[in-house]
Amino acid sequence: MSATEAGVVPPLGVGEPLAPGYVVEAHLSRNQVLDVYKVWSAERDCRCVAKVLRPDCRDHARRRERLEREGRLLLELSHPHLVRAYEMLTEPELVLVLETLGGYRLDHFIRLGSRRLPTIEVAELGVQLCSAVGYLHRHGWLHLDLKPPNAIVKLGTVRLFDLSLARRPGPGRPRYGTRGYLSPEQVHGGVFTEATDVFGLGCVLFEAATRCEPWAGPGDDARPPVRTLRRLPGSLAEAIDAALCDAPEDRPRIRELAAACAAAAD
């Protein structure tokens, strides 16, 4: 069934104006909430990426609030491993304008070629991701949706580019995040803390090291220790496994995880 048949307005076409000063060059993706476009910025004389609410979601207050929060965060914060936001328009529609990131999405990068990523690349990914997430934590924010599809890798540099679920620490609701990358407290709706993001980082590093999805939940076999799937330096394997502990208090702090990655990268 097409978008039009389903009662959803189809995405804008090439050459159509998205907002004042922005013309659509390509429609990149559509999910249940957002359309993402490649656009040409007349002011900057370059390509940008624009995130907008789907036409059928524009009157949904919570979804609009999420996109606005992501825009404010990215405009306020600046870090080498976070995507940059250029501006956020609120009229005539809400539009978040971001820099264009070249390279590979991390989930694709992990599966490039016939061999798994070298240990040093897994470790360096961990160093950079811990740096970005630790920066968010120091500003009082949790990411809460850490997964390979939310990062881009180019020339050895990784950038996080989706903060749509970011929020302050505190009580959360069940299933907040992406299935397969949820900590136990996200599954059940417990208290979200920095340890919740450590679990997400553990998921990303587990997948980067093994090419196996990290999901282990009711009805599934228990997640095997990473060292049973891949030979890694002992301290790095222990840190990844500890990051995936069910109990938040048993997980390493983000600086400890970063230190284990840095030691392996060296």
Q: What is the per-residue pLDDT across 145-192, written as a single tens digit (0 to 9) for each?
A: 999 999 999 999 999 999 999 999 999 999 999 999 999 999 999 999
Compute the average pLDDT of residues 60-76.
94
Among 74, 98, 122, give the residue marking a domain's end: 98
How confident is the model at residue 6, as a pLDDT?
A: 53
- What does pTM read for this prediction? 0.91
- Residue 23: inside a domain: yes
- Residue 3: inside a domain: no
- Whether residue 25 is found in the same domain as residue 156: no
How confident is the model at residue 223, as a pLDDT?
A: 81
- Residue 5: inside a domain: no
Q: How confident is the model at residue 1 (pLDDT cuts 50, 70, 90)?
A: very low
Among 66, 98, 130, give the residue marking a domain's end: 98
Among 78, 98, 118, give the residue marking a domain's end: 98
Structure confidence by residue, pLDDT tens digits, 221-249: 578 999 999 999 999 999 999 999 999 99
Residue 163 sits in which domain range?
A: 104-265
- Chain centre distance of CA 151: 6
CATH code of the domain in which 68 resides: 3.30.200.20
- Whether residue 90 is found in the same domain as residue 134: no
Residue 77 has pLDDT above 90, yes or no: yes
What per-residue string of b and e applies to 224-259 under the rule 16 or more CB within 10 Å gives b? eebbebbebbeebbbbbbbbbbeebeebbebeebbb
Structure confidence by residue, pLDDT tens digits, 199-221: 999 999 999 999 998 875 544 55
Q: How confident is the model at residue 266 (pLDDT cuts 50, 70, 90)?
A: confident
Residue 5 has pLDDT above 50, yes or no: no
How confident is the model at residue 219, as a pLDDT?
A: 47
Higher-confidence residue of 113 and 86: namely 86
- Residue 193: inside a domain: yes
Residue 70 has pLDDT above 70, yes or no: yes
Q: Hey, what are 210's tokens?
A: 């093994």
List Cβ neighbours of 239 (8 Å cut-off, separation of 6 or more).
Answer: 252, 256, 257, 260, 261
- Whether residue 60 is found in the same domain as residue 178: no
